[in-house]
Amino acid sequence: MRHGKNRFLVGALAAPLLLYGVFVVSPYAQAFYLAFTDWNGLSGQAEAVGLANFTALWSDRLFLAALRNNGLMLLAVPLLTIVLALFFAALLTMGRSDRHGGIGGIQGSGAYRIVYFFPQLLSVAILAVLFQFIYTPKNGLLNGLLEAIGLGSLGRAWLAEPAWALPAVMAVMIWAAVGFYVVLFAAAMESIPRDVLEAARLDGAGRLTTFRRITLPFVWDTVQVAYVYLGILALDGFALVQIMTVGPGGPDNSTEVIGLTLYRSAFTYGKFGYASAMGVTLFFLTLSLTMLALRATRRERVEVA
């Protein structure tokens, strides 16, 4: 049986490891090196500049604007998405309470899930083009909707006003993500033992108390996983901004994101070393976010009695 084991292993692993080494490992490794050089794309002309790229980042107004916007997205997008998703998931799984104190999913729960989930499947390019039209001032859906309910005066050129452009972009992210997390949270909520919930209900706990004291602690792990994924999403935003916004990144850099600054530095201005320094910064931001969330998960685990 051991016959030919090594030949099999070498044959099986050679191709994937070569592929991974050439297209994934080597670019990542090179990026860390390039971040400390002033390379502009011409071979053999990379001069080591130490930390100069990183110090330059801190006085780069564009990069600081990007950092601020990604920071705002990091605060708002995961929070709003998770709150909305928890709310709808709770309604779907324990909205109905029958006369006998039993708790069950609301009618049509499956259909809601099917519909809510769909936007998750749309590519960012489709989302960006679709919402660009929804936000169009003259014949867009949003202003048309506001007009239809008598709030026409609130209508505006959503993507052309610095104060509204970033919220408009964030709304697209939230719109697309909520359904996925509804399905995720609803599945977690369904695994809560029924008798625990029903006992709470019999003890006179209202819906809100039950949700706060039982449901939320039970699904907390899943919420933290969701936070990591949504945080990573919020640190990106490149495709939406690049396709949707004026500039892109405008107006007045109000929708500039790190990915866009990086892309432009590299492929418009040819400042490849500088762009790599941004990549390294983004990597450490992502990594700290993941670490924080993972540490938090380890600390608070709910024991199922």
Task: Give phi and psi for 58, each to the nearest 5.
Answer: -75, -10
Please state the closest distance from residue 146 (CB atom) to another protein, in A.
11
Contact between 163 and another protein by CB under 8 A: the answer reads no
By CB under 8 A, the residues from 229 to 268 that bind another protein are 229, 232, 235-236, 238-239, 242-243, 258-259, 262-263, 266-267
By CB under 8 A, the residues from 15 to 74 that bind another protein are 15-17, 19-20, 22-28, 30-31, 34, 41
d(CA 91, CA 107) in angstroms, rounded, equals: 10
In the complex with another protein, the residue whose CB is nearer, 35 or 214, is: 35
3-state DSSP helix/strand/coil percent for the chain, to nearest 5? 70, 0, 25
Q: Exposure pattern of 177-199 as b/e (b: 16+ CB <10 Å)? A: bbbbbbbbbbebbeebeeeebbe
d(CA 89, CA 104) in angstroms, rounded, equals: 12
Contact between 8 and another protein by CB under 8 A: the answer reads yes
Q: How many residues bind another protein (CB under 8 A)?
A: 100
By CB under 8 A, the residues from 82 to 141 that bind another protein are 84, 87-88, 91-92, 95-97, 99, 106, 112-126, 128-134, 138-141
ω into 27 cis (within 30 of 0): no
Assigned token pair, 29? 């490794």
Please state the closest distance from residue 250 (CB atom) to another protein, in A.
15
Window of 62-70, 183-191, 209-217, 296-304 that interacts with another protein by CB under 8 A: 183-191
Please state the closest distance from residue 214 (CB atom) to another protein, in A.
18
By CB under 8 A, the residues from 264 to 293 that bind another protein are 266-267, 272, 275-276, 278-280, 282-283, 286-287, 290
d(CA 125, CA 180) in angstroms, rounded, equals: 18
Closest CA to 259 of 240, 231, 244: 240
